[in-house]
Structure 1
Amino acid sequence: MNTGSIINIAVIVLLLWFVYSRVRPAKGLKPLRSEDFRNMMERTDKRILIDVREPGEYKTGYINGAKNIPLSQLSGRLGEIPKDNTIFLYCRSGMRSKNAARVLIKNGFTGLVHLQGGLSGWSGKLKRG
Protein backbone atom coordinates (compact mmCIF):
# COMPACT_ATOMS: atom_id res chain seq x y z
CA MET A 1 0.00 0.00 0.00
CA ASN A 2 1.47 3.34 -0.97
CA THR A 3 1.46 6.56 1.08
CA GLY A 4 -1.37 8.11 -0.96
CA SER A 5 -3.69 5.19 -0.19
CA ILE A 6 -2.89 5.35 3.52
CA ILE A 7 -3.61 9.09 3.58
CA ASN A 8 -6.91 8.57 1.73
CA ILE A 9 -7.98 5.87 4.20
CA ALA A 10 -7.02 8.09 7.16
CA VAL A 11 -9.01 11.03 5.75
CA ILE A 12 -12.08 8.82 5.20
CA VAL A 13 -11.86 7.42 8.74
CA LEU A 14 -11.56 10.92 10.20
CA LEU A 15 -14.49 12.15 8.12
CA LEU A 16 -16.68 9.22 9.21
CA TRP A 17 -15.74 9.79 12.86
CA PHE A 18 -16.60 13.50 12.54
CA VAL A 19 -20.01 12.77 10.99
CA TYR A 20 -20.77 10.09 13.60
CA SER A 21 -19.79 12.40 16.48
CA ARG A 22 -22.28 14.99 15.18
CA VAL A 23 -25.26 12.67 14.74
CA ARG A 24 -24.84 10.16 17.56
CA PRO A 25 -27.31 10.48 20.42
CA ALA A 26 -26.05 12.19 23.56
CA LYS A 27 -26.00 9.89 26.59
CA GLY A 28 -28.57 11.09 29.09
CA LEU A 29 -30.76 12.77 26.46
CA LYS A 30 -34.26 11.48 25.74
CA PRO A 31 -35.29 12.17 22.12
CA LEU A 32 -39.05 12.43 21.62
CA ARG A 33 -41.26 12.97 18.59
CA SER A 34 -43.66 15.91 18.56
CA GLU A 35 -46.70 14.25 20.17
CA ASP A 36 -44.69 12.55 22.92
CA PHE A 37 -42.69 15.74 23.55
CA ARG A 38 -45.90 17.75 24.00
CA ASN A 39 -47.50 15.08 26.21
CA MET A 40 -44.47 14.79 28.46
CA MET A 41 -44.28 18.60 28.82
CA GLU A 42 -47.96 18.71 29.80
CA ARG A 43 -47.58 16.11 32.53
CA THR A 44 -44.24 17.36 33.94
CA ASP A 45 -44.62 19.89 36.76
CA LYS A 46 -41.04 21.08 37.19
CA ARG A 47 -39.93 21.86 33.67
CA ILE A 48 -38.20 24.45 31.56
CA LEU A 49 -38.58 24.66 27.79
CA ILE A 50 -35.54 26.06 26.01
CA ASP A 51 -35.32 27.15 22.38
CA VAL A 52 -31.61 27.06 21.47
CA ARG A 53 -31.98 28.90 18.15
CA GLU A 54 -30.64 32.40 17.61
CA PRO A 55 -32.93 35.35 18.57
CA GLY A 56 -33.89 36.14 14.96
CA GLU A 57 -35.03 32.55 14.43
CA TYR A 58 -36.90 32.56 17.75
CA LYS A 59 -38.91 35.63 16.74
CA THR A 60 -40.22 33.88 13.62
CA GLY A 61 -42.11 31.40 15.81
CA TYR A 62 -41.57 29.42 19.00
CA ILE A 63 -43.37 26.92 21.21
CA ASN A 64 -45.48 28.72 23.81
CA GLY A 65 -43.60 29.06 27.10
CA ALA A 66 -40.14 28.62 25.59
CA LYS A 67 -37.18 30.59 26.87
CA ASN A 68 -34.66 31.58 24.21
CA ILE A 69 -31.12 30.62 25.21
CA PRO A 70 -29.17 30.28 21.96
CA LEU A 71 -26.62 27.48 21.77
CA SER A 72 -23.98 30.14 21.11
CA GLN A 73 -24.73 31.68 24.56
CA LEU A 74 -25.58 28.55 26.52
CA SER A 75 -22.28 28.06 28.36
CA GLY A 76 -22.46 31.62 29.73
CA ARG A 77 -26.13 31.34 30.76
CA LEU A 78 -26.18 28.03 32.63
CA GLY A 79 -27.19 29.86 35.82
CA GLU A 80 -30.59 30.61 34.25
CA ILE A 81 -31.43 26.91 34.06
CA PRO A 82 -32.64 25.18 37.24
CA LYS A 83 -30.87 21.84 37.68
CA ASP A 84 -33.86 20.29 39.47
CA ASN A 85 -36.20 20.73 36.48
CA THR A 86 -36.77 18.50 33.48
CA ILE A 87 -35.19 20.42 30.61
CA PHE A 88 -36.98 20.32 27.26
CA LEU A 89 -34.78 21.45 24.35
CA TYR A 90 -35.51 22.21 20.73
CA CYS A 91 -34.10 24.01 17.70
CA ARG A 92 -34.98 24.06 14.01
CA SER A 93 -33.85 20.54 13.05
CA GLY A 94 -32.71 18.82 16.25
CA MET A 95 -28.95 19.16 15.77
CA ARG A 96 -28.36 22.21 17.97
CA SER A 97 -30.58 20.85 20.73
CA LYS A 98 -28.46 17.68 20.79
CA ASN A 99 -25.33 19.81 21.05
CA ALA A 100 -26.97 21.90 23.80
CA ALA A 101 -27.70 18.67 25.68
CA ARG A 102 -24.04 17.69 25.48
CA VAL A 103 -23.06 21.06 26.99
CA LEU A 104 -25.64 20.66 29.76
CA ILE A 105 -24.61 17.07 30.53
CA LYS A 106 -20.96 18.14 30.82
CA ASN A 107 -22.10 20.74 33.36
CA GLY A 108 -24.00 18.28 35.55
CA PHE A 109 -27.55 18.67 34.23
CA THR A 110 -29.86 15.66 34.06
CA GLY A 111 -33.44 15.11 32.98
CA LEU A 112 -32.88 16.27 29.41
CA VAL A 113 -35.44 15.81 26.63
CA HIS A 114 -35.21 17.06 23.07
CA LEU A 115 -37.65 17.42 20.21
CA GLN A 116 -36.58 14.99 17.50
CA GLY A 117 -36.47 16.78 14.18
CA GLY A 118 -36.83 20.16 15.93
CA LEU A 119 -39.52 22.59 14.87
CA SER A 120 -39.45 20.96 11.44
CA GLY A 121 -41.16 18.00 13.09
CA TRP A 122 -43.40 19.98 15.47
CA SER A 123 -47.12 19.54 14.85
CA GLY A 124 -48.35 22.05 17.42
CA LYS A 125 -48.99 25.76 17.20
CA LEU A 126 -46.23 28.37 17.33
CA LYS A 127 -46.28 31.76 18.96
CA ARG A 128 -44.86 34.75 17.11
CA GLY A 129 -43.02 37.59 18.69
Structure 2
Amino acid sequence: MKQFTAKEVEKLLTQGQNVNIIDVREVEEVEAGKIPGAIHIPLGLLEFRINELDKSKEYIMVCRSGGRSGRACQFLDSYGFNVINMTGGMLDWEGETN
Protein backbone atom coordinates (compact mmCIF):
# COMPACT_ATOMS: atom_id res chain seq x y z
CA MET A 1 0.00 0.00 0.00
CA LYS A 2 1.35 3.40 -0.97
CA GLN A 3 1.64 5.84 1.93
CA PHE A 4 2.26 9.55 2.43
CA THR A 5 2.87 11.33 5.70
CA ALA A 6 0.67 14.29 6.67
CA LYS A 7 3.66 16.55 5.92
CA GLU A 8 3.99 15.12 2.40
CA VAL A 9 0.29 15.72 1.71
CA GLU A 10 0.53 19.25 3.11
CA LYS A 11 3.53 19.92 0.85
CA LEU A 12 1.58 18.76 -2.23
CA LEU A 13 -1.24 21.15 -1.32
CA THR A 14 1.03 24.13 -0.66
CA GLN A 15 2.74 23.49 -4.02
CA GLY A 16 -0.66 23.75 -5.69
CA GLN A 17 -0.72 20.11 -6.80
CA ASN A 18 -4.09 18.75 -7.85
CA VAL A 19 -4.77 16.13 -5.18
CA ASN A 20 -7.93 14.16 -4.49
CA ILE A 21 -8.40 13.62 -0.77
CA ILE A 22 -11.13 11.46 0.72
CA ASP A 23 -11.82 11.79 4.45
CA VAL A 24 -13.38 8.57 5.77
CA ARG A 25 -14.01 9.78 9.33
CA GLU A 26 -17.48 10.05 10.87
CA VAL A 27 -19.59 13.22 10.55
CA GLU A 28 -18.85 14.50 14.08
CA GLU A 29 -15.09 14.07 13.51
CA VAL A 30 -15.19 16.02 10.24
CA GLU A 31 -17.20 18.82 11.88
CA ALA A 32 -14.12 19.51 14.03
CA GLY A 33 -12.20 20.29 10.82
CA LYS A 34 -11.06 18.64 7.62
CA ILE A 35 -8.41 19.28 5.00
CA PRO A 36 -9.71 21.95 2.59
CA GLY A 37 -11.04 20.36 -0.59
CA ALA A 38 -11.31 16.88 0.91
CA ILE A 39 -14.37 14.85 0.00
CA HIS A 40 -16.14 13.38 3.03
CA ILE A 41 -17.23 9.76 2.60
CA PRO A 42 -17.53 7.93 5.94
CA LEU A 43 -15.85 4.52 5.82
CA GLY A 44 -19.17 2.73 6.39
CA LEU A 45 -20.65 4.38 3.27
CA LEU A 46 -17.66 3.91 0.97
CA GLU A 47 -18.97 0.75 -0.70
CA PHE A 48 -22.28 2.51 -1.43
CA ARG A 49 -20.63 5.64 -2.87
CA ILE A 50 -17.82 3.95 -4.83
CA ASN A 51 -19.58 4.95 -8.07
CA GLU A 52 -18.75 8.60 -7.25
CA LEU A 53 -15.02 7.85 -7.67
CA ASP A 54 -13.00 7.82 -10.88
CA LYS A 55 -10.50 4.98 -11.45
CA SER A 56 -8.35 7.29 -13.60
CA LYS A 57 -7.63 9.50 -10.55
CA GLU A 58 -5.35 8.96 -7.58
CA TYR A 59 -6.94 9.33 -4.14
CA ILE A 60 -5.32 10.10 -0.80
CA MET A 61 -7.31 8.51 2.01
CA VAL A 62 -7.49 10.25 5.41
CA CYS A 63 -8.93 9.38 8.82
CA ARG A 64 -8.10 10.21 12.44
CA SER A 65 -4.92 8.14 12.80
CA GLY A 66 -4.44 6.13 9.60
CA GLY A 67 -6.20 2.87 10.47
CA ARG A 68 -9.59 3.40 8.84
CA SER A 69 -8.00 5.09 5.84
CA GLY A 70 -5.77 2.02 5.51
CA ARG A 71 -8.86 -0.21 5.41
CA ALA A 72 -10.43 2.15 2.86
CA CYS A 73 -7.27 1.85 0.73
CA GLN A 74 -7.42 -1.94 0.84
CA PHE A 75 -11.09 -1.90 -0.13
CA LEU A 76 -10.66 0.55 -3.03
CA ASP A 77 -7.46 -1.15 -4.20
CA SER A 78 -9.41 -4.42 -4.51
CA TYR A 79 -11.68 -2.60 -7.00
CA GLY A 80 -8.76 -1.29 -9.04
CA PHE A 81 -8.49 2.25 -7.63
CA ASN A 82 -5.15 4.05 -7.25
CA VAL A 83 -5.04 4.97 -3.55
CA ILE A 84 -2.56 6.29 -1.01
CA ASN A 85 -2.95 6.14 2.78
CA MET A 86 -2.05 9.28 4.76
CA THR A 87 -0.24 7.74 7.73
CA GLY A 88 -0.83 9.35 11.11
CA GLY A 89 -4.11 10.81 9.88
CA MET A 90 -5.52 14.06 11.18
CA LEU A 91 -3.66 13.56 14.47
CA ASP A 92 -0.47 14.37 12.52
CA TRP A 93 -2.02 17.08 10.32
CA GLU A 94 -0.57 20.53 11.02
CA GLY A 95 -1.94 22.28 7.94
CA GLU A 96 -5.06 24.31 7.37
CA THR A 97 -8.50 22.88 8.12
CA ASN A 98 -12.01 24.09 7.40
Q: Percent identity?
A: 33
What is the correspondence of 1:57-96 to structure 2 with a 5 Å cutoff? 57-96=29-68
1:40 equivalenced with 2:17 (yes/no): no
Q: Quick one: distance in 1 between partners of 2:46 and 2:29?
A: 16
Pick the aligned partner of 1:117 from 68, 81, 88.
88
Residue identity opposite 2:23 in structure 1: D
Relative to its length, the structure with more strand (as a share) is 2
Q: Quick one: distance in 2 between partners of 1:31 and 1:103?
A: 15
The 3-state SS of whatever aligns with 1:53 is coil
The 3-state SS of whatever aligns with 2:85 is strand
**Greater RCO (Cα-Cα under 8 Å, separation 6 or more):** 2
Query: What does the per-residue CA deviation read over 1:59-99, in whole Å, with 9 as the maximum and x for residues that have no partner?
Result: 11100001110110001110111111110110001000000
Relative to its length, the structure with more helix (as a share) is 1
> What's the Cα RMSD here?
1.4
Q: How many residue pairs were aligned? A: 97
What is the correspondence of 1:3-14 to structure 2 with a 5 Å cutoff? none
Residue identity opposite 2:4 in structure 1: L
Moved over 3 A (4+): 40-45
